[in-house]
Structure 1
């Protein structure tokens, strides 16, 4: 009777196992043990395997411990179960205790290590297996190749490949699939393709590995062609094949083929598969068909975070930041899991919309959910704060990151450069190099932008050398930055050389050179370049016209300027902004056409801003139009009451007209309002050191030599015909004091130091924060002739290239 009951219990357990009824199996197994009945080893192993597959490792351990008999399958099942549950130490201990280790035992542990990111241990175990005289089987090779693919490790993978050839597994489709995947993950797609091509037996898994490998390596079209071959061969794609080919479609924005794949998915019954549906959302999003992406997402039975993330990313990619934030809000409200792929897309939206406050709210959410230490999230936070101009917060996040990478470094460098903190940007760039972080093209472009802002030519040249040595090849962003850097440092011919050598050019390239020539007193060349740009088929943009009109203004090309201004809307469909109107008013004002400038001002369809009023005021000051100048000054003061420019220009205008009382009144008003004029400062870079000078500065270590040089310079240029322009001096000192004050203006001190410190034959480069004064402009022309030196002065308006007594601006600045 007892034997009959034992048999009945065993049959009941077998029935539960056969129907995969784990809960009933656990109940029956418990009742059997309580009656002293132990299931046969085959049933116990099946029960052990079921528990292990279900992740109930603790229960599996109890079953294993109570088994009276264990065979290889029992040990291997437990080792695999531990490994699957990431209990690698326990798996290794059981492995070492196993009475016999066959290839599957080794494979189970190797696979566990590989799947859990412990590639070193997996490879060490594989080589130990060889040393103990055991031959690997197809599953061992598959596991160790997976380990080689994870990091990836090409050299180890090649060694395993050699072992595959020696042991005759090179025709095994399972092993070949592992090799194809390994080579693809190691970015050796050529080797992967060769292996695939010589393998006669191909199953769905191998086809999928090849499609996936090509897709991952940017070979979207080839991946699609392999998928077509797979279809023609009669192999049926699975839930992993479709996402791979859809990724290929997305990578080259081939929505037509993607739609065909979608139809094929429906026909083959894979429509409700979450992996396939997520890939469809991603494909449609990346191809710009957000309506179809949303339709797939809305119809998903089980929508996972991957599909939602793809939808958010697609909206961000196509400039629909507000829509992306709405989807994120829905995702949050439905308690959908938000992960380290969701947050970067959302933070990117806030960065694009300059929504700092909302970005900070999401930052709080990130901290609460424990994603603050994730690299992608940290990078997105740094980028968001940097783009929003909150550089303190950007730096704080950066400092707390465990291992900042090139992306986080570049985001911070770019943030500082973009917001005018050029010195900080260059310091960070140097720190990045010192930290051993390999720079990318974006970091180099931002560093060059900082060099342009500071006009530190030598540092810019060094970064140019870094770019050449980097092996990046041609990079449009870096080459555009080089054109801008050289132009802003006064090396317009170097800028032109970089431009001429560029294999590809966009509107930014052309605009940078157009603006560069204009700023360097070569407005005629700017206009020629603009016409050449049009002939090349490149369409001008908003900034291009600012450059062209600036060039016309500084070259006195009134009719050309009028034509280009009118062509903006009539030919190119670009509505002029206040910047374009300011350029036109400046152009007309410089040419003495004040009435035409006033007429254009009155015809403006948009409200004039400070740049427009300043342009008109400057023109009135030059041409003595006091009444109109007063009106311009009043409007400018209303917009910028703390700006010293309108006070100074109006005061000078009154003084020039002999209206001393009105001039004094303006200066008193300026003083009563606490408005101070920015002191003139000039600086010069010599041997990578910047030397700054203020007017009548005596703080430089070599000031005695500099003042002695100034006295000599002034004496020699007077003999050559220079006459001090006392109108540029202070009004509250006597005539002798005015002349002495003029001699020690900041730009003259910088030029004198250049004569002392810059080797003969090399140009003297000086930068001034304000517009160069008329007297200094005249004096430096004479200095360039008397001392036979080329002198380049960049002021707040443009570059002045002095040579042989003449200036590139032709005294029209």
Structure 2
């Protein structure tokens, strides 16, 4: 009897010894090789059949990234339990081989909550959230109670406010409480992403204990939902409650200041970043660049970029977008080329900014090369990139290429439709633009202000007055969108083209705000020959108040005064024009691409790269012309 006890005691000591060795392997630099040595000893001493040690080894192989070794060890275990099978399933989930993982899951004779969580996380990681939802429902049908980890994981897949509320109720019914930090933070985060800030606040205030992640989720949710001022107020409460900010906090606050265009408050947050040493984080640096870019402080944005500690895709993307938004297309292209040479992989937002710059600055053949790059990198099917590609070809005047890309898009969002409607309108295809607008209405997408601005411009260019008036009326009545100046302008233009000037003027009086200068210019051009000097004077005076540097009002008034012999009024208007108008020399500029290089030439520019050779060739050509 004592002999049996001693053997059992030695066996337990051996198991404990090897278990401790396995734990120590995880702390070593080359844990895989160390674990292979232990694996060999287990085989040598006959302990390979021990299920507990085998599961520990499989787990460590997984953590060290040795998936193949984990699979081999699993096959060597003669007596496998549910832990072994869960680890086996986790191997394929880690490898993103979801098809094989599902086969393993279906073959398992016994499944617990860990099994279901593993396969659901695999579907989510592989980009199949719908399949994860199906597994979640199937899990409950099999009477397996979801864990708090299950709920926190599935909350990441929620894309609708009603679904979020249903999931919240399900959590409460299954015994969930606000004492769990991870679950509470997940609820705050999902409500914030969906714009339900009041629900986020309710969960936040109901939690028994909060941490920095809770505060960050609350601040970030307010920023994403358009409640930037509330985000700044919550930041004040965070400091007064004794919590210290981290990199995620300040990046969200910088984003809030960017959206508010609040430079002064943004500078305070930026100084706090410098004080705490957070600028070494590229997410914080890129948020600072966005702040200075949106507040028109391009020099400060460049300084942040040049003094950054790390040169990666996050900060390069922000700087490229900054250059593109400030009409510095050449700088944006140069930075994109440099980052690409440094093997910094572009994102869809980077390529979108680059394509925008290409449509303005880059020659068409280089734009085609960018298109080829999109195909190679696999971004051609991305909705954001495809929309920018449509815009680029539209800027080149290649509307057929733009239409082809739009028709080939797998998923068309509202931005894609808006881009294509405006492209068709600007290229004299109003019928196709209106047809595309009707196609948008039949889809599940809702038009916005940009959509209506494009289709109303199409109706104006095409002379479709009745259809344009009907679309204009539907904005507020059916879609709840209040018309702005961009919507009134094409309607006024349609009425003027139809000869209904009085109705156009009457429409302006119904506007809830002051019409902008372009609308008054349209009315003034139409009334120039109407023979009503009082009406023309009133419109011209209003235009001169809104746009003092516009020459249209002065030129029409001088013509009227000259024709009617009102010389004193003519002299008064000309004096005012000379006093107010500030003549600026407009310098024309043209580009030409030669062998992959772009040369720019300004008007009256005598000195430029290769200028002597250019003038010599021009001289020879002129001589041949004269001789001919």
Give the TM-score of the pair, scaled to structure 2.
0.80
The equivalent of 2:616 in structure 1 is none
1:61 aligns with 2:71: yes
| 1:133 to 1:453, Cα distance in 2 relative to 1, 3 A | closer
* Cα deviation code 1:558-583 (max 9, x no counterpart): 765665565456325354989xxxxx
SS of alignment partner, residue 280 of structure 2: coil
Q: Which moved more, 1:517-526 or 1:297-306?
A: 517-526
* Cα distance in 2 between the residues matched to 1:11 and 1:577: 79
| 1:158 to 1:455, Cα distance in 2 relative to 1, 3 A | same
- Is the CA contact 2:358–2:367 (under 8 Å) kept in the aligned structure 1? yes
* Cα deviation code 1:299-350 (max 9, x no counterpart): 4443221221111111111222222122122222322212322111011112
| 1:231 to 1:163, Cα distance in 2 relative to 1, 3 A | same
Match of 1:243 among 227, 251, 257: 251
| 1:242 to 1:508, Cα distance in 2 relative to 1, 3 A | same
The equivalent of 1:25 in structure 2 is 34
The equivalent of 2:470 in structure 1 is 462
Q: What 5-or-longer segments of structure 1 have no aligned partner?
A: 579-605, 608-813
* Cα deviation code 1:88-121 (max 9, x no counterpart): 3333333344454333333333333334433323
The equivalent of 1:129 in structure 2 is 139
- Is the CA contact 1:57–1:81 (under 8 Å) kept in the aligned structure 2? yes
1:339 aligns with 2:351: no
Deviation at 1:157, TM superposition (A): 1.8
* Cα distance in 2 between the residues matched to 1:436 and 1:179: 27
The equivalent of 1:102 in structure 2 is 112
Deviation at 1:214, TM superposition (A): 0.8
1:156 aligns with 2:163: yes
1:222 aligns with 2:230: yes
| 1:263 to 1:436, Cα distance in 2 relative to 1, 3 A | closer
The equivalent of 1:634 in structure 2 is none
* Residues matched between the structures, number: 573
| 1:127 to 1:8, Cα distance in 2 relative to 1, 3 A | closer
RMSD: 3.5
The equivalent of 2:487 in structure 1 is 478
* Cα deviation code 1:678-700 (max 9, x no counterpart): xxxxxxxxxxxxxxxxxxxxxxx
Q: Bigger radius of gyration, 1 or 2?
A: 1
* Cα distance in 1 between the residues matched to 2:498 and 2:344: 53
* Cα distance in 2 between the residues matched to 1:90 and 1:57: 14
- Spell out the pairing of 1:345-494 with structure 2 (5 A cutoff): 345-353=353-361, 355-430=363-438, 432-433=440-441, 438-468=446-476, 469-494=478-503
* Cα distance in 2 between the residues matched to 1:499 and 1:45: 78
| 1:448 to 1:27, Cα distance in 2 relative to 1, 3 A | same
- Is the CA contact 1:181–1:192 (under 8 Å) kept in the aligned structure 2? yes
- Spell out the pairing of 1:478-517 with structure 2 (5 A cutoff): 478-505=487-514, 506-517=516-527
The equivalent of 1:142 in structure 2 is 152
* Cα distance in 2 between the residues matched to 1:421 and 1:357: 25
* Cα distance in 1 between the residues matched to 2:107 and 2:256: 47
The equivalent of 1:93 in structure 2 is 103
Q: Which moved more, 1:343-352 or 1:110-119?
A: 110-119
Deviation at 1:26, TM superposition (A): 4.4
* Cα distance in 2 between the residues matched to 1:299 and 1:49: 43
Match of 1:167 among 164, 170, 174: 174
The equivalent of 1:570 in structure 2 is 579
* Cα distance in 2 between the residues matched to 1:45 and 1:275: 39
Deviation at 1:391, TM superposition (A): 1.8
| 1:532 to 1:295, Cα distance in 2 relative to 1, 3 A | closer
The equivalent of 1:692 in structure 2 is none
| 1:455 to 1:6, Cα distance in 2 relative to 1, 3 A | closer
* Cα distance in 1 between the residues matched to 2:64 and 2:219: 31
* Cα deviation code 1:55-110 (max 9, x no counterpart): 54344333333334555544444444533443333333333444543333333333
- Is the CA contact 1:526–1:548 (under 8 Å) kept in the aligned structure 2? no
* Cα deviation code 1:500-527 (max 9, x no counterpart): 2333343334434434444766564243
* Cα distance in 2 between the residues matched to 1:8 and 1:436: 63
* Cα distance in 1 between the residues matched to 2:20 and 2:202: 52
* Cα deviation code 1:338-380 (max 9, x no counterpart): 2322111011112334743432332232233332222211111
Q: Which moved more, 1:231-240 or 1:432-441?
A: 432-441
* Cα distance in 1 between the residues matched to 2:243 and 2:53: 36
Q: Which moved more, 1:440-449 or 1:36-45?
A: 36-45
- Is the CA contact 2:475–2:483 (under 8 Å) kept in the aligned structure 1? no
| 1:437 to 1:214, Cα distance in 2 relative to 1, 3 A | closer
* Cα distance in 1 between the residues matched to 2:577 and 2:363: 32
* Cα distance in 1 between the residues matched to 2:183 and 2:43: 46
SS of alignment partner, residue 279 of structure 2: coil
Q: Which moved more, 1:235-244 or 1:431-440?
A: 431-440
- Is the CA contact 2:194–2:225 (under 8 Å) kept in the aligned structure 1? no
| 1:496 to 1:305, Cα distance in 2 relative to 1, 3 A | same
SS of alignment partner, residue 537 of structure 2: helix
- Is the CA contact 2:282–2:314 (under 8 Å) kept in the aligned structure 1? no
- Spell out the pairing of 1:594-605 with structure 2 (5 A cutoff): none
| 1:6 to 1:129, Cα distance in 2 relative to 1, 3 A | closer
* Cα distance in 2 between the residues matched to 1:80 and 1:255: 48
| 1:364 to 1:89, Cα distance in 2 relative to 1, 3 A | closer
- Is the CA contact 1:343–1:377 (under 8 Å) kept in the aligned structure 2? yes
SS of alignment partner, residue 319 of structure 1: coil
